[in-house]
Amino acid sequence: MALKLQPARGWRTFAGEVGVIVLGVFLALGAQQVAEAVNHRSEAAETRASLVREIRESLGTLELRRAAQPCIDHRLKELRGLVDEWGRTGNFTTPRWVSQATWFGIGTQRFDAAESAGRIALLSGEDQYRLGFIHGGLVTFRTVQDREGEAWGTLRMLQAGADALSATDRTAVRVALQQASTLNYYMKIRTGQTLEQAATYGWRPDMRRSRETMKLAWKDGQFKPSVCLPIDTPAEAANREANQRYDLPE
């Protein structure tokens, strides 16, 4: 004899109970999705704010470079005159203070960490583009700046005077001068474009971090580009006037 399965309180009641359970599951899943969406929006907003703050701090560094740019341009022009004189006469007026282009640290730690953690993907496509564009400009600035330092290190060989330098040294100096001039051109473009584009996004330089960093470079915390000192300033006097915590190598 076949057994008939029959809920204790009838099929209608059973169906209602099942419906309540299913509805509860759906509500729970929906609540979880809502909670995750709220969490993602919150994390995205926090990530964006952190990255914009980092960018604005780094833009302050570009402003300092722009402030020193006339001195860098003038010094490169002076050095080109000396090298041209060397080529024409075999001698040149020995500079006592070649100095170098300004150098500043550029921090991208927050962006790098957010990218590694996958938090950049939480941002809107427009925010990803904007932040990525400015971040790329800052990374390029940092890379070119490091290459500049190497070229200027060779240019300081001129402080030894023509008698101490060989024909090979003159070639090295000529190459370094061309590199320094080209890299300086790139820096002017990168600095100007990055600052101007950031401004269209409403991101202005935040100089507070730059002022804090200045205390690590200058004894009085005041920005004084050593390249702005006259080229005939004795090295000892130039290092003293520049008031930097660390003397520039000759």
Tell me if 46 is assigned to some domain. Answer: yes
Confidence of residue 140 (pLDDT cuts 50, 70, 90): very high
* Percent of the chain scoring above 70 in pLDDT: 84
Tell me the average pLDDT across 125-130.
93
- 27-75 pLDDT tens trace: 555 655 544 544 567 888 999 999 999 999 999 999 999 999 999 999 9
Say if residue 1's pLDDT is above 60: no
- What is the structure's pLDDT at 208? 86
Residue 82 is inside which H or E element, if any? helix 11-89
C-alpha 224 chain-centroid distance: 21
Tell me the average pLDDT across 225-244.
92
- What is the structure's pLDDT at 142? 93
Tell me if 98 is assigned to some domain. Answer: yes
- 97-111 pLDDT tens trace: 999 999 888 888 999
- What is the structure's pLDDT at 39? 59
Tell me if 247 is assigned to some domain. Answer: no
Alpha-carbon distance of 116 to 111, in angstroms, equals 9
- What is the structure's pLDDT at 213? 82
Alpha-carbon distance of 100 to 248, in angstroms, equals 9
Tell me if 190 is assigned to some domain. Answer: yes
Q: Tell me which of 13-22, 146-155, 241-250 is least confident.
A: 13-22
**Can you read off the two tokens belonging to residue 58?**
């780094």
Confidence of residue 16 (pLDDT cuts 50, 70, 90): low
Tell me if 164 is assigned to some domain. Answer: yes
Tell me the average pLDDT across 201-225.
88
Of 212 and 86, the structure prediction assigns the larger pLDDT to 86
- What is the structure's pLDDT at 128? 93
Alpha-carbon distance of 142 to 150, in angstroms, equals 13
Tell me if 5 is assigned to some domain. Answer: no
Residue span of the structural domain in which 120 resides: 11-242
Residue 71 is inside which H or E element, if any? helix 11-89
- 165-206 pLDDT tens trace: 999 999 999 999 999 999 999 999 999 999 999 999 999 999
- What is the structure's pLDDT at 120? 92
Mean per-residue pLDDT over the chain, rounded: 87
Number of domains in the chain: 1
pTM over 0.95: no
Quick one: angle between helices 207-217 and 11-89, nearest 10? Answer: 50
Quick one: angle between helices 11-89 and 125-155, nearest 10? Answer: 20
Tell me if 70 is assigned to some domain. Answer: yes
- What is the structure's pLDDT at 68? 96
Q: What separation in angstroms does the CA of 35 have from each of 17, 22, 38, 42, 123? A: 27, 20, 5, 10, 17
Tell me if 127 is assigned to some domain. Answer: yes
